[in-house]
Structure 1
Amino acid sequence: MTATTVLEPENPVDLRKTYKKVALHLLPFLFICYLFNYLDRVNVGFAKLQMLDDLHLSETVYGLGAGIFFIGYVLCGVPSNLTLYKVGARRWLTVTMILWGIFSTCLLFVTSATSFYVLRLLTGASEAGFFPGIILYFTLWFPSAERGRIIALFMSAIPISGLIGSPFSGWILKSFASGMGGLAGWQWLYLLQGLPTILLGIGLFFLLNDGIDQAKWLNENERHALKQALIDDEKNRPATVSDSFARVLRNPSVWVLGIIYFCIQCGVYSINFWLPTIIKSSGIANPMTIGWLSAIPYLAASIFMVIVGRSADAKRERRWHLAVPMLMGVVGLLIAANFASSTTVATIGLTLATMGALTGLPMFWPLSGGFLTASAAAGGLALINSLGQCAGFLSPYLVGWIKDTTHSTDLALYILAALMLLGVVLVLRIPGRVVNR
């Protein structure tokens, strides 16, 4: 649907302005929540710079601990999203945020590989419903034609979390390295980045509405216009969509989407969990310097992500706006692997890889509108997300095991680049008429 105005008798409503009003009301707070969501998920990448030596853990143990998060995430993704659909976003997302904030903070008490594994598993299980829940939540407010821009703005929290979190994490590790208050720097890292999540979860309960009908900050005409736009969007869906979770499970296209998302996430998590280590391996030892250098790729990605999201919505084109960033990710990983000893060239490669891989995330989700109706979205989006998040287990564990075995991350980066290239091929096999909306 491309119309910008819905008319009622003597009550014109400008949909463009209404969408902007909704976005300004929902996005800022949800953006902050997702920023801490991602920060809590990947801050182990910085914590490992000190934690492994303090606890005498290997790179393989770290890779497994970083990845085991996603076992809990995958197992709980679908049931969590179905629960959200039944009880409402406000209640369920509040529970989700408070629980994962508690478990993430408790990582400061890790003393062994086993406790590391258990807490990462619990954090992943409790966090599982947040992201797919938010994507589902957006389908209750915005039609397909508007979601590319909205999801890109929302998911720009990922690179922003790296942009802000990387220097912040480096500062914590350096400033608290002496063991202030009886806690090591990596313990302070978990504490200072986990507690805000609990507070945000409490705030979410009071600030979020379950849907259009509960939004008292919209007038009646605006609510009607938004609901009519969603109805029109449902009518315009192609015949390939699945309208129930049972049909989702039998739809091969949905499983292909899950594989594509898996390929994208392979590149994303190789960057998120190993970026500080790769920079350190190039000869940089100071945690603050590593933090600032880690911020460069995320800064570039945050800008690029929004630009591509706006372009995709303006041109109503989805496939190439996803395929091209993914190819950038492939090239960037190959550069980082081949020039790992050069800080400058490796940083350029990592920047290119981060721009491409992270931009692939928001560009992927509008594809699902060609295959899922609103009634199937709760289970379908969670299924696709869960399949993709399997990469969160494979990617860090693979890199850790290969690094312990070969004392280099090069082979792992080659493998992950190949998987992203496979994803590009699958994206371009999707008919444009199905997803270019």
Structure 2
Amino acid sequence: MHDIRFIRENPEAFDAGLAKRGLAPRSADLLALDERRRALITEAQVTQARRNEVSKAIGAARARRDDPTDLMAEVAELKERMPAIDAEEKAVGAALTEALAAIPNLPLADVPKGADEEDNALVHARGTPPVFAFEAKEHDAIGPALGLDFETGALLSGTRFTFVRGAAARLHRALGQFMLDTLTRDHGYEEAVPPVLVRSEAMFGTGQLPKFAEDSFQTTDGRWLIPTSEVSLTNSIREQILRQEELPIRLTALTACFRSEAGSAGRDTRGYIRQHQFEKVEMVSIVTPDASDAEHERMTGCAEDILDKLGLAFRRMKLCTGDMGFSAARTYDLEVWLPGQARYREISSCSTCTDFQARRMNARYRPEGEKGTRFVHTLNGSGLAVGRTLVAVIENYQQADGAVAVPAVLQPYLGGLTLLEPRT
């Protein structure tokens, strides 16, 4: 959510930020609504003050035995006018709030301007892609013999669902546990087990609603299946005033996530890359505004550490304005090398949202020694998407016979197993 006071004081800067995202200017329309709303508030105050004044005058007239008929008629007129002013002020305020809620966050100054992923900027690359003495296969060719059962998943639930069993299921579990252990043990995150069903106000708080309702699943009682545990973790501080000494708050969770993928028709329909149901380890940070840039680097580094430990080659990309999410002010994507596809694919996305989500959630903190409050800054990132990491391990550690070597850091989670053998 945007601060109307900022728009009032910096209309050109606001429109310039929208232009960087490829959007038309909005400040004039927003300020017209704001001006009308403030005028109505003033009118209501003036009307109430006049009503009080006339009511006192009626009492004084009666005390003097004067005729108060004209004054009583004015009070009646004012009383009749006030509900109409109040109703219009509420309607204009709601229209302003609705308009502000539909506008994405403004990009930070260092975010490159661009239309789509082709305009993203390479920050750095790490690791060396493996070289095989055989033709590398994609995960959907190797996976079925390890337990990625695409046919049963489709039979049970339709396209973009997979039944994972056997060696693949064990590897999947090991990856999730390894990620949680790394983030809690090495990077100071607090593990959480949040709800995966949330109310609409939680989805609004992190920016999924109202604009992206079609991308999520809703239950018959009005709750939403979370598309990411960012929703639950970030909203854990909604409508709160935190003490500065409580910050930073760093939370992590491994949850099932659900996405309808309404905007990705025809993309990655094969394999395990883009599913309606998947598991992801999420990182969320709640910080003071002066700490958010450093926290963004720290969070992204935590995700990179997991990739390093797994021995996977990857690159960090700074997303351009046209490829950035609705709530993000800056986003780093981590893209892992997939030998079967011979290309890098996204495996983590780490974003700073500045105070955009905090305003939607009314989440604030009180700086030490101050009476007033300020909005916190929120950040979120994948640490990592478990299914996509499974794909990366299968493709990068594949053997000529269809087996998959187990990365050293995962072997303790698999009872010392060093090789996943394909079923014959």
* Higher strand proportion: 2
Name the larger-Rg structure: 2
TM-score bracket for this pair, using the shorter chain length: under 0.3
Q: TM-score, structure 2 length as denominator? A: 0.25
Q: TM-score, structure 1 length as denominator? A: 0.24
